[in-house]
Structure 1
C-alpha cells in the first residue's frame, strides 16, 4: 500500500529503490541521496530540490528554506539513520513511511563456490547491513578483497580478516565500479 501524501509538501528519498515503490511525484518536491536516486525520482515525476552524496550530507546541507511544509521520508524497512528525528529536532514537521523491505538472501551457489575455492574473491559491499550479512555467510575472509562504499561499511568488517579493504572515493555505484576495476587492473589479487 502506498503512503498517503495528502498535506505532504516534499519527500526524502535515501535510495533509488524507494522511488520505485513510491507514488508518482506529479511535480512535488523531493530531496534525494545520490545521483541515481535523483534520476529515478525525476523519471517518476518528482521535482528534485536537493541532492547530496549521503543522508548525513543531506541533513547537513539542507536549507530549511527549501522545505515548504511537512515532509515524509519514503524509505526501506531497514534505516541506517533516523532522518525524521533529526528534522524534527530542527523544527521540521516530518514523518516516515516504509515503502519496501529488502530481504537478505543467502550467498548464491556461485558465490559459495568462489568462497570455497583458492582464488582471490572481490566482494563489493554497499551497506553495513549487507556487509554484516556477507561476513556471516562467507566464513573465511582471508582471500576476500572487499570494495566498500563508505567507511561505515568498512567498520563492519572484522579487523585484519580480509586480504584488503578499499573504500570508494565517493559513495556512488560509479565509484564502486571504478574501485573494482582499479583493483583488477592493479593485479593486486595474487
Structure 2
C-alpha cells in the first residue's frame, strides 16, 4: 500500500501530539489503527490534518513483524518481488538488482536499500498483469511474509515463469491493548481500518462488541470476515489500495453524523 515515508509519526511522538488536543477529546470518534506501528503512524500522517484532528487516535497493533532468519540465495535470480515494505528490511541489499513492487511505500523502501525498481503496481493482482506485460522470463523470487493474501508464485508458474518464494518475515498476532479495549467498551464511535482477512478475523475475536465500530475494509474478502449486522457500518474501499482506504477513512471522519 503506498504512503510517503516523509513526516511519518513514530510511536514516541504520540504523547506530545495528544497533549495538544483539548479536554473534550474523549467525545471525539476514535480512530483505531491496528497495523504494525510504523504502518499505522504513516497511515495517520497521510490523512489531511483538519480531518485527522476530528478523531482521537489509538494505535494498537494486532500484528508484530519479525524476521524468520531465512537468507535467500539470489544467485541466478533475475528479479525479486516485494508485495510489502515489511519484506524489504529482511531481504539482502539490492546492489542494483531488479525489484518489482506493490505500492509506493514498498518502492521507496526497496530503493533505499539499493534495489533497482523496474515496476510499481497498486495491488498484487496488478503486479501480475504488469509482469506479464513486461515479459519477465524469470527466474524471479517473491520475498514475502509467512501469511500471503495471494499465491503469486503459483500464478507466475502457471504462466510459464520460473518463480520461487522465500519467507523472510512472519506476522505474529497480538492482543488489543488495554487502551483499545477500554475504547471499544466506551460510548464513542470507533473507526477501524482493516487491511486483511486475517487481521480482521483477529480483530473480531479481540473486540467482542462491534456495535459502535465503523469498519473500513480494503476488499470484499475482508468484509466477509465481519459478522453480518454486528458493526455500525462497513465501508469497502473502491480499490484495494492504501490511497482508497485513506479516502474512505477521511470521508467517515468528515461526516458529522457519525455516531
TM-score tier (shorter): over 0.9
Structure 2: distance between partners of 1:68 and 1:28: 15
**In structure 2, how many angstroms separate the alpha carbons of the residues matched to 1:26 and 1:66?**
23
TM-score (norm 2): 0.69
- Kept in 1, the 8 Å contact 2:137–2:162? The answer is no
Structure 2 unaligned spans of 5+: 1-69
Segments of 5+ residues of structure 1 without an aligned counterpart are none
Q: Residues 180, 186 of structure 1: CA spacing in aligned structure 2 closer, same or farther, 3 A cutoff?
A: same
The question of whether the paired residues in 2 share the 8 Å contact of 1:49 and 1:66 is answered with: no
Is contact 1:74–1:96 with CA below 8 Å preserved after alignment?
A: yes
Pairwise CA distance, 1:144: 0.3
Residues 38-57 of structure 1: pairs in structure 2 closer than 5 A? 38-57=107-126
Deviating beyond 6 angstroms after TM superposition, the runs of 4 or more aligned structure 1 residues are none
Distance 1:104 1:27, change over 3 A: same
Structure 1 residue 65, shift from structure 2 partner: 4.3
Between the aligned partners of 1:60 and 1:20, the Cα distance in structure 2 is 26
Q: Distance in 2 between matches of 1:119 and 1:27?
A: 50
Q: Please, what is the CA RMSD of the aligned residues?
A: 1.5
Q: Is the 8 A contact 2:137 2:161 kept in 1?
A: no
- Give 1:178 shift: 3.0
Superposed CA deviations along residues 8-56 of structure 1, whole A, max 9, x for unmatched, are: 1100111010111111111111111111111111111111111211111
Q: 1:188 to 1:127 in 2, by over 3 A?
A: farther
| Aligned partners of 2:216 and 2:236 also within 8 Å | yes
The CA deviation at 1:76 is 0.3
User: Cα offset for 1:146?
Assistant: 0.6
Aligned-partner Cα distance in 2 for 1:44–1:188? 45
Matched length: 190
Deviation at 1:179, TM superposition (A): 2.2
Shift of 1:187: 1.9
Q: 2:184 aligns to what SS in structure 1?
A: helix
TM-fit CA distance, 1:6: 0.9
Q: Could you tell me how far 1:156 is from its partner in structure 2? A: 1.5
TM-score by length of 1: 0.93
- Classify the secondary structure of the residue corresponding to 1:180: helix
1:68 offset after TM fit, Å? 4.6
Q: Residues of 2 paired with 1:149 and 1:22: CA distance?
A: 26
Q: For 2:216, what is the secondary structure of its paired residue?
A: strand
Q: What's the offset of the Cα at 1:64?
A: 5.6
